[in-house]
């Protein structure tokens, strides 16, 4: 099955990604007290990343043209050889089909072209499925993150 990627569009995609973010926060038990304010801050951060390169925040589309995933990954400003995956998401009904791997491969290719040699991310300690997924793809634990998160990384 072919999947395509296109840059996040704040006009047409913001409600979809807001749902993805809330779903992830619900799964991990990290829903903020003010969901709307949290979304506004996150949307601002997406737009800042896209000023650097529109492809840093992308929608993954299925053959039917419907959104099946979203990735938000970019090189760190203070360490340009390190990329950071801030958010990646596959819709629940499309999980366990290899799409998460394709989504991360897309992000790693973008980061590699930007000069990154390694990539890191934070994952909720309670998200056992995500931790196992990343480990299967060669990610290793590198320490405790802020609050309920673990840090993971891998070479590109």
> What is the model's pLDDT at position 63?
82
> What is the model's pLDDT at position 155?
98
The CATH number of 4-155, from 3.40.30.10, 3.40.630.30, 3.40.50.150, 3.40.50.11440, is 3.40.630.30
Average pLDDT over residues 58-75: 93
pLDDT single digits (tens) 13-58: 999 999 999 998 998 888 999 999 999 999 999 999 999 999 999 9
> What is the model's pLDDT at position 79?
94
Percent over 90 (pLDDT), the chain? 88
Please state, in angstroms and rounded to a whole number, the distance separating the CA atoms of residues 112 and 56.
Answer: 12
Residue 141 in contact with residue 150, Cβ under 8 Å? yes
pLDDT single digits (tens) 102-130: 999 999 999 999 999 999 999 999 999 99
Percent over 70 (pLDDT), the chain? 99
User: Following DSSP, what letter does each residue of the chain receive, concatenated?
Assistant: ---EEEE--HHHHHHHHHHHHHHHHHHHT---S-HHHHHHHHHHHHHHHHHH-GGGEEEEE-TTS-EEEEEEEEE-SS-TTEEEEEEEEE-GGGTTSSHHHHHHHHHHHHHHHTT-SEEEEEEETT-HHHHHHHHHTT-EEEEE-STTEEEEEEE-
Checking if the pLDDT of 2 tops 90, the result is no
Please state, in angstroms and rounded to a whole number, the distance separating the CA atoms of residues 119 and 111.
Answer: 8
């Amino acid at each position: 099955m072919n999947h395509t990627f296109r840059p996040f569009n704040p006009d047409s995609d913001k409600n979809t990604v807001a749902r993805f973010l809330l779903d992830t926060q619900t799964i991990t038990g990290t829903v903020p007290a003010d969901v709307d304010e949290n979304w506004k801050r996150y949307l601002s951060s997406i737009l800042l990343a896209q000023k650097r390169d529109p492809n840093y925040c992308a929608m993954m589309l299925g053959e039917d043209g419907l959104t099946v995933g979203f990735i938000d990954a970019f090189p760190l400003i203070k360490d340009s050889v390190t990329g950071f995956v801030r958010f990646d998401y596959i819709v629940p009904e499309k999980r366990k089909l290899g799409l998460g791997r394709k989504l991360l491969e897309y992000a790693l290719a973008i980061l590699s072209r930007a000069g990154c040699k390694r990539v890191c991310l934070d994952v909720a300690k309670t998200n056992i499925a995500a931790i196992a997924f990343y480990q299967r793809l060669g990610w290793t634990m590198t320490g405790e993150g802020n609050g309920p998160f673990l840090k993971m990384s891998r070479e590109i």
